[in-house]
């Protein structure tokens, strides 16, 4: 009694399943055509890589180049032990 409706539903969904499968197969095959070009065109004499952000773009300088340079110069003075020890 319960088998009949099952069979009927399978028969009814069969074309649907086949259509879905066919669609998936077609999508899979077409995906190969959508591949990105893998050959990079280099322009001689120019940087070809990704752009980089300047170091002073980060907190706490937030783009203040002058202050960043000033801070680094001050930090570099720590390498001078004549100044560190007051000699």
Partner 1 sequence: MARMKFLCDAERCIECNGCVTACKQEHDIPWGVNRRRVVTMNDGVPGERSISVACMHCSDAPCMAVCPVDCFYKTEEGVVLHDKDMCIGCGYCFYACPFGAPQFPQTGAFGVRGKMDKCTFCAGGPEKDGSPEEFAKYGRNRLSEGKLPVCAEMCSTKALLGGDGDVIADIYRDRVLHRGKGAEVWGWATAYKLPANPGQAPAAAANGTKS
Using CB under 8 A as the binding rule, whether residue 4 contacts partner 1 is answered as no
- 54 touches partner 1 (CB under 8 A): yes
Q: What is the dihedral of CA 6, 9, 11, 13, to 10 degrees?
A: -140
What is the x/- site pattern for partner 1, positions 5-44, by CB under 8 A?
A: -----------------------------------x-xxx
Which of the stretches 5-13, 15-23, 24-32, 60-68 binds partner 1 when contact is defined by CB under 8 A?
Answer: 60-68
């Amino acid at each position: 009694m319960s088998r009949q409706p099952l069979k009927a539903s399978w028969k009814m969904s069969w074309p649907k399943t086949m259509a879905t499968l066919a669609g998936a197969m077609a999508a899979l095959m077409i995906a190969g055509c959508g591949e990105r070009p893998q050959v990079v065109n280099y322009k001689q004499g120019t940087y070809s890589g990704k752009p980089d952000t300047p170091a002073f773009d980060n907190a706490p300088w937030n783009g203040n180049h002058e202050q960043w340079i000033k801070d680094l110069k001050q930090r570099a003075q720590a390498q001078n032990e004549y100044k560190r020890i007051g000699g």
